[in-house]
Structure 1
């Protein structure tokens, strides 16, 4: 009996309150009471208001703190200006840039299949996303956006400033005095062989005052013996037996990637000398061509295309490995290899040259 009385009490309360709720809603309309509004936090902020992206790379920046504000919110870059008040316009030039429309997984079997998953869209070089993150697109370049000065100075009048207007139905606010100070393009990584301010050749970090000595990209190396010296080749701060150059070449089809191997006198080493290399699994490329001087593929840029782990990428860089073996004493085999993790951001025809500077590798059996 008590349970029935309890149920009856709940039902009575609902029947009693329902007209009141309906009446309150009617009163809102009758008395023109304001609608409930979104909450806009008082402490909206970003973790960093100085942005230093590298031109030529699609870079997402942000660190926005919404302070429990109601979503969605609207973000707008406003009042873009130099430190002396001049308006900034170069950041907002519109250029075609690749945008993915389907997921890339590294299993695609042709350039056509890759490009079917993305399209070129006209986008401002620099913009703010609906999430509040900033993005500098890979279509940016030194020619379109002047990088920071080569002498490393940053005069206030030359710095680009901007504000961000943030709003929802609860109101709007403006966060002021963001800065964007871009680095000049580094079309590839590793880029330690490049002066980041001038784009020229970087000097040897162990002898910076010597203009005749330079820094080098150093591949990994394992168990490679010199043909003449009969010693193990090494790469360290003092000795650089094997270095790499990443550079454009002429005469390709606009989307070639080429690997070359040269000795101390710059003469070509036949790629077939690296007889255990899995050439068909080296890069995510197609139409492989091997000549006496190089191995070449048709590829899609940038390399890697996205930051996920695939058979050709460790999640952030493409990785190539060249292997060979030769007969060893006692009837066994000696296995040798060298490798490089790399990225290329600019479309075109590129070659990676592996230079054995001090001696040729030993390929002959013992």
Structure 2
């Protein structure tokens, strides 16, 4: 191994570089020593979105758009700019500020009353439509048909009524503009399934099998129906395009307290069936509701809206929907026990007093023993 002499040329160069490095470190780097500019973030000119056309439904909190940053340095700042109709007119109504609920503690379905639920969320003021810090667009459920005109009732969307906007994206490396996003909202659909209504105008939807017949309509169907026999025919009841033995209506009712949910059952003559007939139903855990009220014509709960409150899975949900199950049992021929039931997966987005009506419209179910 060769040892450098103190006065050698190589030694002097090494010593000078070491001294320079020490000076750079002591003076917070060579960048400041030589008055070099600060290193800037990278902002890709190829930053894109997975889609630029959005068709949300008013009255629902909807997240839209996924950004591909193309390795741009984060965090990025996003700003909606140049909101305009197709003919160039500006609009501002989409950015009205209204209160919306924000969860401060996780809802998990174990809450014992409405007060406990409300204590877990608070009202905050947000624009009806905005972009968050991740570049995701949000239409809040505070949006309504009155605040934001929805797409045309006759399904013809004229260019002058279509909304466009651009997005300004920036970091310390610069700014880029992503142009020509489009948002064309559907009118409020208070509940799901919404198969009984025309999504363009909110009126009764025609029968898909006979759309020109004004005496027929489309219905909400139950999620399932098992072992329900007809009272007169003693044949299994069915719900399909031909029979429609059991159909469902989701509708408002008058006289509630503003946060009621009611379940009603009708026979073929639209006369109420006593809920006690469904003797296998677990009424205490049918929905996440409180102050249950049972009458010969309905069962009612106090509930918090929307239903379900979040996407968090609970014993009251199936996937992203609330689920309800009604059952009853009776003795069939030969002494066999017949357990029958039907159910519905649903959502209600708008606060109010709502009832879900199950209508056996062709033949009444058989409850009596054989």
Deviation for aligned residue 1:270: 0.4
Is 1:122 aligned to 2:125, yes or no?
Answer: yes
8 Å Cα contact 1:308/1:314 also seen in 2: no
Q: 2:149 aligns with which of 122, 146, 150?
A: 146
Q: TM-score, normalised by structure 1?
A: 0.94
Change (3 A) 1:34 1:319: same
Matches of 1:345 and 1:26, distance apart in 2:
58
User: Is the 2:27–2:33 Cα contact (8 Å) retained in structure 1?
Assistant: no
State the match for 2:73 in structure 1: 70
Q: Which runs of 4+ in 1 moved over 4 A?
A: 12-18, 23-27
CA distance in 2, matches of 1:173, 1:316: 37
- The residue that corresponds to 1:292 in the other structure is 296
Instruction: Please list every run of 5 or more consecutive structure 1 residues that lacks an aligned counterpart in the other structure.
Output: 2-11
1:247 aligns with 2:270: no
1:261 alignment counterpart: 265
1:82 and 2:85 are equivalent in the alignment:
yes
Asked if the contact 1:82–1:158 (Cα under 8 Å) also holds between the matched residues in 2, the reply is yes
| Residue ranges of structure 2 left out of the alignment (5+ in a row) | 2-14
Contact 1:283 1:320 in 2 (8 A): yes
The reply to whether residue 111 of structure 1 matches residue 146 of structure 2 is: no
Indicate the SS of the match to 2:257: coil
Secondary structure in structure 2 of the residue aligned to 1:309: coil
Q: Pairwise mapping of residues 1-366 of structure 1 onto structure 2 (< 5 A)?
A: 18-19=21-22, 21-22=24-25, 25=28, 27-219=30-222, 220-366=224-370
Distance 1:55 1:13 in 2: 70
Change (3 A) 1:224 1:17: farther
Distance 1:155 1:293 in 2: 48
Whether the 8 Å contact between 2:80 and 2:130 is mirrored in structure 1 is: yes
Q: Quick check: 1:193–1:214 contact (8 Å CA) kept in 2?
A: yes
* Bigger mean CA deviation after superposition, 106-115 or 349-358: 106-115
Residues paired across the two proteins, number: 356
- Whole-angstrom distance in 1 between the partners of 2:325 and 2:276: 14
Determine helix, strand or coil for the equivalent of 1:280: helix
In 2, Cα distance between equivalents of 1:359 and 1:85 = 58
For 1:26 and 1:309, the matched residues in 2 are separated by 53
Aligned residues: CA RMSD: 1.8
What is the distance in 1 between the residues matched to 2:84 and 2:339? 59
CA contact under 8 A between 1:75 and 1:167: conserved in structure 2? yes
1:14 Cα deviation from its structure 2 partner: 11
Distance 1:17 1:296 in 2: 81
